[in-house]
Structure 1
């Protein structure tokens, strides 16, 4: 993965109706440990990592790089939204911004992922004006539904990491206006 491009980072916090998307802080470290070691969160991502490994490797302020948003609810981290640019992967994704997200199980089922991802996609539209890709396992039904809700359309299906995968593309907002 490579840098997002010519954007100032971190941006001002992004506020939605219920959430704040912001840069990582030291106080988020326990939630990052929980995200990376949760079997539920990592079901479709190759499995949870051992807590000792994560705690030993994670810096004091985790995930502090362009494109990594902490998702905060009522002052505490509930998830992460990731924006990265592909420099390898599927040919249809190379050079495009990729959307990823992780949420703690206690935040599932309340629409927080949709709300946070939409805010991040709006930020991409404003800051970069580019299309975005999203890849997920076809077995991850909730992620497939979210991708559709966010406006991603299937580009291809493929097999990787011993599982069937789905790659979707969401055009830039400027392309949506031109095509309507």
Structure 2
């Protein structure tokens, strides 16, 4: 199992089939899915399928979302990471998207910001990307705050599935100026 990044409190590693119970706890929660189209999962088999899908992205694209494990407890707390998005979104195609999702009891601990920074470091310093993008439901103030704390800048709005989203961008140059 590959570890992609480590922070003072977290390990970001590849998602594995053994993460299915944690993924189900995460994705079956309506509160977690409030800004994700309100489509929580209803079976653990759906979580297994999500993990298989992400592992396929590792094989095809060399990147995908990573499991986030709390070092102190060794517990699965959610996922974070970069994903190569091949379908057109807000006028972009074949771009790297930063995303994260955490089990509700781990909200408010700063884990999303910690992971976002580790993912940006990986994207700019290991993958040598020029730009990384992110989006958040326009009503999700907490997610927008995380992205801005990580260094992203708002770059307009767009509709996806009739829901208004904010688009965020960060360049390698901006990242380096913040972490030079």
Give me the TM-score of the superposition, normalised by structure 2: 0.82
Task: Give 2:75's aligned residue.
Answer: 76
Q: Residues 60, 148 of structure 1: CA spacing in aligned structure 2 closer, same or farther, 3 A cutoff?
A: closer
Contact 1:70–1:79 (CA<8 Å) still a contact in 2?
A: yes
Structure 1 alignment gaps of length 5 or more: 1-9
| CA distance in structure 2 between the partners assigned to 1:144 and 1:174 by the alignment | 18
Greater mean deviation of Cα atoms: 153-162 or 103-112: 153-162
Higher helix residue share: 2
Q: How do residues 161-172 of structure 1 correspond to structure 2 at under 5 angstroms?
A: 161-172=161-172
Structure 2 alignment gaps of length 5 or more: none
Task: Give 1:17's aligned residue.
Answer: 8
Task: Give 1:55's aligned residue.
Answer: 45
Contact 1:125–1:173 (CA<8 Å) still a contact in 2?
A: no
Across the two proteins, how many residue pairs are aligned to each other?
167
| CA distance in structure 2 between the partners assigned to 1:149 and 1:129 by the alignment | 21
Give me the TM-score of the superposition, normalised by structure 1: 0.82
Task: Give 2:28's aligned residue.
Answer: 37
| CA distance in structure 2 between the partners assigned to 1:174 and 1:25 by the alignment | 33
Q: CA deviation at 1:25?
A: 2.3
Q: Could you say what the CA RMSD is over the residues aligned between the two structures, in angstroms? A: 2.3
Deviant stretches of 4+, over 6 Å: none
Task: Give 1:6's aligned residue.
Answer: none
